[in-house]
Amino acid sequence: MSASDFPGWHGTTIVGIRKGGKVVVAGDGQVSLGNTVIKGSARKVRRLSPGGSDVVCGFAGSTADAFSLLERLEAKLEATPGQLQRACVELAKDWRTDKYLQKLEAMLIVTDGRDLYVITGAGDVLEPEHDVAAIGSGGNYALAAARAMMDGDRDAEDIARTAMAIASDICVFTNGNLTVETIEA
């Protein structure tokens, strides 16, 4: 199959919710190739502990690319312990300027329980408005659903799980097989 015939890998919805002194990152497990579900139980949300500090990361895009970025983020966190923002900015600068990294196709949601960021290959380190971040194929659906629930009495995990359920009902590249990680400030 030539590169032009390759239908592309799709799948993944990741949402991050900051509420009530906690941040919850939830991600689905679907990986699709064209119209076919290749795997329904991929784990796209991970807990890192560089230098003893917990950080939760969710990724969308190419798994191999995301793992390369997570390894580099972990190295940046080890070099700047407890400074998530600085590590994220350093990763984004490398991603934007390094010719090898520029080809990586992934996005990350990263949190240490206090801060919540979306990191992109365009050099962005974005702190989301309204304490909700979402990426991936069903990200806009999860984002809209979560924002609609933020003013109510629901806690961060309930909002994340409900937003992901709504996204999986709408987006064919998202399923309901969730990995959920919670981290407190």
Q: What are the two backbone dihedrals, phi and then psi, of residue 169, each rounded to the nearest 5 degrees?
A: -75, -25
Q: Is 174 a catalytic residue?
A: no
For 140, the token pair is 């806009």
**Sign of the alpha-carbon dihedral angle for 160, 164, 167, 173:** positive
Q: Which helix (H) or strand (E) holds 86?
A: helix 84-97
**Would you say 39 and 32 are in contact if contact means Cβ atoms under 8 Å apart?**
no
Beta strands in the chain (DSSP E): 9-10, 13-19, 22-27, 31-33, 36-39, 45-48, 55-61, 106-111, 116-119, 125-126, 132-136, 179-184
**From 12, 13, 111, 174, active-site residue:** 12
DSSP letters spanning 110-162: EE-SS-EEEE-TTS-EE--GGGEEEEETTHHHHHHHHHHHTTSS--HHHHHHH
- Residues with a catalytic annotation lie at 12
